[in-house]
Structure 1
Amino acid sequence: MAMSFDPFGELDRLTGDLLQFRPGPRFMPVDLYREQDQYILAADLPGVDPGSVDVDVDGQLLTVRATRTAAARENAKWLVQERPSGTYLRQFSLGDGVDSSRISASYDNGVLSVFIPVSEKAKPRKIQIDTASKTDAAKSIEV
């Protein structure tokens, strides 16, 4: 059985390894979806103390920060240490169609959920269509 070499897969693996151990903020995987009249941002933050999570809005910029502290093991000889510690940071640009004054968040089982309501002006609405006979009747009443 011949084995094939995938240069792009190998590049993805190497890039992932390098990004995992780079200095600075860590990567925070998120899902973002719309459900009825709100957007929901779900961010994976396993092992993060809820007290270290910070969500703020400055104008149209939503920022999520969190910190995972390293395990303190004085007498341990590490064999593998793959769980990164440090600061996690993601920023999202909010459009005009959200109500930033009503954003809320919750943290449960290592997942931060941020609820971003759609503004009233961005919600779909039904437009009434007048017929010619209604318009003519309205004009005759106004005169």
Structure 2
Amino acid sequence: MAYLRQTARNLAVDEHGKQQRAGRRLVLLDMTSLDALPAEQEEEIDEERRRQRKLLHREISPMCDSQSRHVVALQSQGLSDVEIAAALGIPAARRHRLRNKAIAHLRRKLTGLIREGQRKKSLGRKDR
């Protein structure tokens, strides 16, 4: 969650810079204002995150019982890379390969559910 919040914040700062370079005068009062959302927007975002998390867990559970599955399951619970490697007793490089393999599998399964603006490539084209 912290990663997503930081990413959203960085995107907002980038957009602000882009608007300034385009000649529009915008005033960014402070960085904490980027973190503040009205309560109803926060609830909508939380609901969307819960829905996405359920969908992700629904796709993780049928994966074959492998280390890749365990890596993404632990990562979805919020464990850090170091904690995951320690929990599974594997080196960091192996954990990285397992995570990438599992993410590629999940991406194939969930491709149709990715919102258009969030897609790196258009539908039907391989993204690797």
Q: Give TM class, smaller chain.
A: under 0.3
The structure whose residues are more often helix, as a share, is 2
If asked which structure has higher relative contact order (CA below 8 Å, sep 6+), I would say 1
State the TM-score, normalizing by the size of structure 1: 0.21
Rg larger in 1 or in 2? 1
- Taking structure 2 as the reference length, the TM-score comes to 0.23
* Structure with higher strand content: 1
